[in-house]
């Protein structure tokens, strides 16, 4: 992506996709340590309703993980955090372009 001064102060850029996915996974783990341990709590923190349709986001991510929005999840579990990252990426981008190996590599570097 080319430099865009309108978004640079708010978002990080990474030189490789796996670094961005790793950062997302690490952030989700940090959320958990701060009490954001359900899809509902995580998405409210990640995508506040002032900028997003948070209720829709919550249900899409919960459906992707096959859990209730209020069910406690464990982002330290490899499969859980990978599926959670995939669901967030899909919602944010309208697609999830990365292969499973990228997620495995990102998780291995946590």
Least confident among 24-28, 40-44, 51-55, 67-71:
51-55
pLDDT of 32-43, one tens digit each? Answer: 999 999 999 999
Q: Look at the pTM and tell me if it is higher than 0.85.
A: yes
DSSP state of 38: B
Q: CB–CB of 90/67 below 8 Å?
A: no
CA distance 47 to 92: 10
């Amino acid at each position: 992506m080319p430099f865009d001064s309108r978004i640079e102060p708010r978002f990080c850029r990474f030189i490789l996709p796996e670094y961005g996915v790793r950062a997302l996974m690490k952030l989700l783990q940090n959320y958990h340590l701060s009490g954001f341990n359900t899809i509902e709590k995580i998405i409210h923190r990640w995508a506040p309703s002032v900028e997003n349709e948070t209720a829709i986001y919550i249900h899409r991510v919960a459906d992707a993980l096959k859990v209730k929005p209020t069910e406690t999840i464990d982002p330290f579990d490899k499969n859980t955090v990978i599926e959670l990252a995939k669901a967030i990426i899909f919602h944010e981008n309208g697609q999830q372009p990365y292969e499973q190996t990228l997620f495995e590599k990102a998780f291995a570097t946590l």
